[in-house]
C-alpha cells in the first residue's frame, strides 16, 4: 500500500518541474472522435491528454512545454492523408503519432514516409508489413508474428478441446483481412479444416444471413474478424437465430469497450475474444492504477468510456513512449528518436516495451478472454475480472475455457 501511495503521488505530481522556455513541442495526430471507432478513439485521446498534463507539470520535454495538435478523422480512411499533410505543412508540428486502428493508420503511411518522420501507431495490425518503413513503431502487443497473433490463443483453446473444423468471416477492410489471413495460418498450424471462408462489405448492417450461412456449414468453431458495429451486429444475430457452435469469437474489435459490453450484457457470455490488457494481478501495477484513478475521475466530464481499460491506458502509453524516446535521444531529430526506439527497452505504464523487426514488439502479449456470468447491463461487473477469464496464453491465464460456449449461456 505504501508503494502504491508513493507511486500515485509521483504520477500526480511528477518530479520537480524544470523551467520551460520557447515554443511548445507540437505533437500532431488524427483520432477517431466521431464515427464507429469514436468510443475507442475518445478514450485514447483522454489518455493522451492526461500524459500531456503530467509531462508539462514535470517540465515538458527538453525544457519545452508539450502541446497536442489533433483533428477528428471521423473513422474515415479517406480523411487521413489530408489531416497529416495539414499537420506537417500548415501546423508545422515537430512530431507525429498515428491515429487509432489499422484502417486509419495505413493511408497515413505514404505521407509520413515522404516527410521522413518517426511514427508510433496505435493498434495497427501488420501495417508495416507492406511498407517496411524503418522509422515505424507499432503500439500493439502482437509481437513478431503479427497477423496470427490475434487468433492464436483462440485456436490453441480449440485444439485442446479437439475441435476439427472452423469457419472464418471477416469485414472486407484492412484490419479484418489481416486478422483473417492470420487465422488461416493458425488453422493450418493447428490442423483445423476451414469449412467457410468469406468476407462481407464494411457497410453491412444485417448479419442474420451471414450467420445462417455459417450455421449451414456446421463448423465446430467460428472466427469473426470485425470492427465495432459489425461485432455488435454479429453477436446479436448469433443470439437471435440460436446459433450454437462450440466456440465463437477470435478477433472482434469493440467487445473490449465498456459501451459495447454494457450494451450487449449477457449476450457476451461464452464468447472467446482477443484482449490486449485486463485488470488482473499480472498487469496491475501502481503506475497503471494511478493512471486509471485519474482517467476515471475525468471520464464522465469528458463523455468517454468510464473505465478506460482498452484504449485509455494505451493512449497514454504510446505518447509516453514517444516522450521517453525524445528524452533518451536528447533531440527532436526523427532519425535519432527512431534509433533510440530501436535500441532500447523503454518502461511505460503498460510495462517495458522492446521493438524487434519492422517496428513490431519483440514479444507478443496478446490474450484471449472468455466472458462468463454477465448479468444485466450494469457497468460495475466489468471493473475487475469477475465476468471474464483469460484462457490463453497459458502464462497469463486466469482459468480454463468452457467449451462448448453454450454452457455459459
- The radius of gyration of the chain's CA atoms, rounded to the nearest angstrom, is 21
- Cell output for 60: 515538458
Are residues 172 and 203 in contact, defined by beta-carbon separation less than 8 angstroms? Answer: no
Mean pLDDT, the chain, rounded, equals 94
Strands (E), 253-358: 272-275, 346-348, 351-353
Other CB atoms within 10 A of residue 332 CB = 15
pTM reported for the whole predicted model: 0.91
Are residues 289 and 320 in contact, defined by beta-carbon separation less than 8 angstroms? Answer: no
**pLDDT reported for residue 22:** 81
Query: What mean pLDDT do residues 119-136 have?
Result: 97
Q: Which CA distances in Å does 260 have to 64, 220, 266? A: 40, 26, 11
DSSP code of residue 16 = P
**Is residue 66 a part of any domain in this protein?**
yes
- If asked whether residues 354 and 403 sit together in one domain, one would say no
Residue 167's domain is classified under what CATH number?
3.40.50.2300
Q: How confident is the model at residue 20 (pLDDT cuts 50, 70, 90)?
A: low
Q: Which domain holds residue 137?
A: 2-141+282-359
**Residue showing cell 493447428:** 190
- If asked whether residues 164 and 133 sit together in one domain, one would say no
Are residues 147 and 250 in contact, defined by beta-carbon separation less than 8 angstroms? Answer: no
**Is residue 364 a part of any domain in this protein?**
no
- For 242, phi then psi, to 5°, come to 70, 35
**pLDDT reported for residue 3:** 44
Paired residues of 364 in beta bridges:
142
Convert the pLDDT of each residue in 267-323 to its tens digit: 999 999 999 999 999 999 999 999 999 999 999 999 999 999 999 999 999 999 999
- If asked whether residues 226 and 312 sit together in one domain, one would say no
H/E segment holding residue 247: strand 247-252
Convert the pLDDT of each residue in 201-258 to its tens digit: 999 999 999 999 999 999 999 999 999 999 999 999 999 999 999 999 999 999 999 9
User: Is it the case that residue 122 has pLDDT exceeding 70?
Assistant: yes
Q: Is the peptide bond before 404 cis (omega within 30 degrees of 0)?
A: yes
3-state secondary structure of 323: helix
- If asked whether residues 130 and 233 sit together in one domain, one would say no
- If asked whether residues 17 and 116 sit together in one domain, one would say yes
User: Is it the case that residue 13 has pLDDT exceeding 50?
Assistant: no
Q: How confident is the model at residue 7 (pLDDT cuts 50, 70, 90)?
A: very low
Q: How many domains does the chain have?
A: 2
Convert the pLDDT of each residue in 23-64 to its tens digit: 999 999 999 999 999 999 999 999 999 999 999 999 999 999
- If asked whether residues 133 and 152 sit together in one domain, one would say no
Amino acid at each position: 500500500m505504501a508503494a502504491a501511495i508513493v507511486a500515485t503521488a509521483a504520477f500526480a505530481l511528477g518530479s520537480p518541474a524544470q523551467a520551460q522556455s520557447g515554443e511548445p513541442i507540437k505533437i500532431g495526430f488524427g483520432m477517431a472522435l466521431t464515427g464507429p471507432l469514436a468510443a475507442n478513439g475518445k478514450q485514447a485521446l483522454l489518455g493522451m491528454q492526461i500524459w500531456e498534463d503530467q509531462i508539462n507539470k514535470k517540465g515538458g520535454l527538453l525544457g519545452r512545454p508539450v502541446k497536442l495538435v489533433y483533428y477528428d478523422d471521423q473513422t474515415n480512411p479517406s480523411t487521413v492523408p489530408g489531416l497529416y499533410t495539414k499537420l506537417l505543412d500548415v501546423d508545422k508540428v515537430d512530431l507525429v503519432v498515428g491515429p487509432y486502428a489499422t484502417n486509419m493508420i495505413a493511408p497515413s503511411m505514404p505521407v509520413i514516409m515522404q516527410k521522413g518522420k518517426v511514427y508510433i501507431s496505435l493498434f495497427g495490425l501488420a501495417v508495416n508489413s507492406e511498407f517496411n518503413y524503418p522509422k515505424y513503431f507499432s503500439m500493439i502487443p502482437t509481437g513478431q508474428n503479427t497477423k496470427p497473433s490475434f487468433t492464436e490463443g483462440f485456436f490453441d483453446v480449440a485444439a485442446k478441446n479437439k475441435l476439427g473444423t472452423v469457419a472464418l468471416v471477416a469485414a472486407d477492410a484492412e484490419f479484418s483481412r489481416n486478422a483473417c489471413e492470420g487465422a488461416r495460418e493458425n488453422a493450418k498450424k493447428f490442423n483445423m479444416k476451414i469449412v467457410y471462408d468469406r468476407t462481407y462489405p464494411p457497410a453491412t448492417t444485417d448479419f442474420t444471413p451471414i450467420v445462417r450461412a455459417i450455421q449451414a456449414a456446421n463448423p465446430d468453431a467460428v472466427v469473426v474478424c470485425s470492427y465495432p458495429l459489425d461485432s455488435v451486429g454479429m453477436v446479436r444475430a448469433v443470439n437471435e437465430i440460436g446459433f450454437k457452435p462450440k466456440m465463437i469469437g477470435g478477433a472482434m474489435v469493440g467487445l473490449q469497450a465498456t459501451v459495447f459490453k454494457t450494451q450487449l450484457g449477457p449476450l457476451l457470455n461464452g464468447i472467446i475474444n482477443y484482449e490486449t490488457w485486463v485488470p488482473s494481478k499480472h498487469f496491475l501495477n501502481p503506475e497503471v492504477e494511478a493512471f486509471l484513478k485519474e482517467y476515471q475521475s475525468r471520464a464522465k466530464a469528458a463523455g468517454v468510456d468510464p473505465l478506460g481499460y482498452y484504449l485509455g491506458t494505451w493512449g497514454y502509453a504510446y505518447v509516453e513512449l514517444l516522450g521517453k524516446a525524445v528524452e533518451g535521444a536528447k533531440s527532436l531529430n526523427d532519425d535519432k528518436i527512431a534509433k533510440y526506439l530501436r535500441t532500447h527497452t523503454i518502461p511505460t505504464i503498460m510495462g517495458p516495451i522492446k521493438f524487434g523487426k519492422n517496428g513490431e514488439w519483440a514479444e507478443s502479449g496478446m490474450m484471449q478472454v472468455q466472458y462468463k456470468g454477465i448479468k444485466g447491463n450494469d457497468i460495475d461487473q466489468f471493473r475487475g475480472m469477475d465476468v471474464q477469464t483469460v484462457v490463453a496464453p497459458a502464462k497469463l491465464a486466469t482459468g480454463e475455457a468452457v467449451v462448448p460456449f453454450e454452457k455459459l449461456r
